[in-house]
Amino acid sequence: GGRAVLKLLGYTEESGEGLSFPPPPHGPHPPRVAAVTADVLLLRAELDLLLLNQHPNPHFFSQILLGGDEVRPV
């Protein structure tokens, strides 16, 4: 899930106050952490829709997973 991704970006430990990152310059770039977290949340929502057979564009994932052509907007 999202915590595994945050660990890859420098997550160190969870405290009662939330997530703890090392101080700069060794810590992760906050805008990058926010962007990756949003991407993970969106992917999870999309996968949930796929599993419920309610995704509006399931063919996008079929193309990606089967190594098809690049997905083009309609």
Which spans in 9-68 are helix H?
Answer: 30-51, 58-65
pLDDT tens for the chain, residues 1 to 74: 566 766 666 666 666 777 676 666 666 777 887 888 888 888 888 889 999 999 898 888 777 777 765 555 55
- State the amino acid at position 3 in one-letter form: R
Please tell me the predicted confidence (pLDDT) of residue 53.
Answer: 92
Q: Whole-model pTM?
A: 0.56
Please tell me the predicted confidence (pLDDT) of residue 52.
Answer: 93
Helix (H) or strand (E) holding 52: none
Q: Under CATH, to which class is 1-66 assigned? A: mainly alpha
Rounded Cα–Cα distance for residues 20 and 27 (Å): 10
Q: How far is CA 17 from the centre of its chain?
A: 23
CA dihedral angle for residue 33, residue 34, residue 36, residue 37, rounded to 10 degrees: 110
